[in-house]
Amino acid sequence: MQGIAFLSTVAGTARAPGRLRRRLLSSSLRTTTRSYTPAAGVMTKRMNLFTAINDALRTAMDTDQSAIIFGEDVAFGGVFRCTVGLREDFGDGRVFNTPLCEQGIAGFGIGYASLGKTAIAEIQFADYIFPAFDQLVNEAAKFRYRSGNQFNCGGLTVRAPCGAVGHGGHYHSQSPEAYFTHTPGLKVVMPRSPAEAKGLLLSSIRAPDPVIFLEPKALYRAAVEEVPEGDYTIPLGRADVLREGRDVTVVGWGGQLRVLEKACDLAADEGIACELIDLRTLLPWDADTVMASVHKTGRLVVSHEAPKTGGFAAEVVAEMQERCFLFLEAPVQRVCGYDTPFPLVFEKVGREGGWEGGREGGREGGGGGGEGRGGGVG
C-alpha cells in the first residue's frame, strides 16, 4: 500500500505547476539503483545481511581484544543467527548470554564501556528496547556531558532487529528510531543492505559515542550482495544518493529503501524521474545532501515504515522547509505507516498488497493521496 500512496503523492507533487517546471524525459526513466561497487583490488564475498553482520562482529573482535558481545541467546548464535560461531572462536568470556533483562544489558554495557573498553550489546528485538530506555537516554547519552568530558561510554554499541516481516504482530514489528533521534549524545544508524550493514556497524563500534544500531530484520536473509572481506567501514553521518533524478527527491532509510526503489520505478513509468537518497545515519543526519538534492528537484517526499505522527520524517520535512523554502515547487510530503499498533492479521496486506493488487486497486483500497495516510502500515 505504501507504494501506491507514494506513486500518488509523487505524481501530484511532480506535476504541480511552478515557475521552474521541468520537461519530462522523453525516453524511459527506469534506472538501476546503485548498489555497492568495490574498489579495484578489493576482495568481496557474497553475503546476506545477517552474515555481513556476523562478519563485522568477527572483524571487531579480531581487531579489538577488549570487545565483548552479550545479550539474550547470543552465545548459541542468536534468534537471527547474527552471532553464530563467535563464542566458539572467541570464548565464553567474550561472547556470552545475559539474563532476560534489557535494562541490565544496557547498564552492564555502559559500565563496561566507561572503562574504555568496547561493549557490543544485542537487544533481541527492538520492540523490547524500551525497558532499557532510561539507561540509554539518561545514562549512556549523558555520560560524557555530565562529567565534563572526563568520562564517557563511547565504546557502547547496541544492536537491535527492527521493522516488520509480515507475521510479527504488535510486539515484533516496531521501528523505534524516532524515540532515540530526540536524544543528544547518541548516534542512530539503520543500514539498507549487507555491504552497508558491515561498513556502518564497524564504524558504529569504533565511534566515540554510544550508538543505537537498528537492523531491518526483514532483510536478514532477503538482501544479498557482494560485501568487502576484511576490515571495511562507511563513515557515519553521510547519506548516499542511490539514483539520480531531476523531478523529485525521495528520502528513506533501512528496509524502506526496498519499497522506495519499487516506487521510483513505478513513478518512472509515469514519466517522473526520482532522486533516491538513503540517510544511513539518522543521528546525526546528512541534511546537506538532502538540501542539495531538493535545490535541484524542487520537490521532496520522505517515507518510513514507522507511524507517521512524530516519526523521523517530520524532522527531515521541517529542516528542509527551513532550508529550501524558496526552492520548493510543491508541498513536502510524507508517506509513512498508520498511527496504529501493527495489526497481525492485516500485516501482509499493508506490506505487500499495494504491489500485488495493481495500481488502481491500491488506490481504491485507500492507498493513495495526501500525506500518506493510506500508505499502509508496512
The per-residue pLDDT for range 269-295, each reduced to its tens digit, is: 999 999 999 999 999 999 999 999 999
C-alpha cell of residue 135: 539507561
Q: Could you tell me whether strands 156-162 and 187-189 are parallel, antiparallel, or unpaired per DSSP bridges?
A: unpaired
Is position 172 annotated as part of the catalytic site? yes
pLDDT at 4 over 90: no
* Separation of CA 34 from chain center: 17
Give kind and range of the element (H or E) at residue 54: helix 49-63
Q: What pLDDT is attached to residue 43?
A: 93
Calculate ∠ Cα 157-158-161, nearest 5°.
Answer: 135
The order of strands in the sheet holding 281-283 is: 95-97, 68-71, 119-122, 156-162, 211-216, 187-189, 281-283
Average pLDDT of the residues in 4-22: 50
Q: Which of 36, 34, 63, 33 is nearest to 47 (CA)?
A: 36
Work out the pLDDT band at 340, boundaries 50, 70, 90. confident
Say if CB 198 and CB 56 are below 8 A apart. yes
If you average pLDDT over residues 340-350, what whole number do you get? 76
Q: Which of 72, 122, 139, 172 is catalytic?
A: 172
Tell me the average pLDDT of the chain: 86
| Chain CA centroid to CA 135, Å | 22
SS3 sequence of 234-248: CCCCCCEEEECCCCE
- Which amino acid makes up residue 78? G
Mean pLDDT of 354-361: 36
> CB–CB of 376/207 below 8 Å?
no
d(CA 3, CA 368): 9
- The stretch 33-55 carries a mean pLDDT of 83
**pLDDT tier, 29 (very low <50, low <70, confident <90, very high otherwise):** very low
Q: How confident is the model at residue 343 (pLDDT cuts 50, 70, 90)?
A: confident
SS3 50: helix
Contact 378, 352 (CB under 8 A): yes
Query: Is 304 part of the annotated catalytic residue set?
Result: no
Q: 102, 315, 329, 347: which one is catalytic?
A: 102
Tell me the pLDDT tens digit for each residue of 150-204: 999 999 999 999 998 878 888 999 999 999 999 999 999 999 999 999 999 999 9
At residue 65, the pLDDT reads 98
CA–CA distance, 191 with 204 (Å, rounded to integer): 11
Radius of gyration of the chain (CA): 21
Percent of the chain with pLDDT over 90: 75
Q: Which of 150, 98, 149 is nearest to 119 (CA)?
A: 98
pLDDT single digits (tens) 100-153:
999 999 999 999 999 999 999 999 999 999 999 999 999 999 999 999 999 999
Overall average pLDDT of the 290-315 stretch = 97
Angstrom distance (rounded) from CA 284 to CA 243 = 22
Q: What is the pLDDT of residues 61-98, one digit of tens each?
A: 999 999 999 999 999 999 999 999 999 999 999 999 99
pLDDT for 190-246, tens place per residue?
999 999 999 999 999 999 999 999 999 999 999 899 999 999 999 999 999 999 999
The C-alpha atoms of residue 137 and residue 132 are separated, in whole angstroms, by 9
List beta partners, residue 227. 45
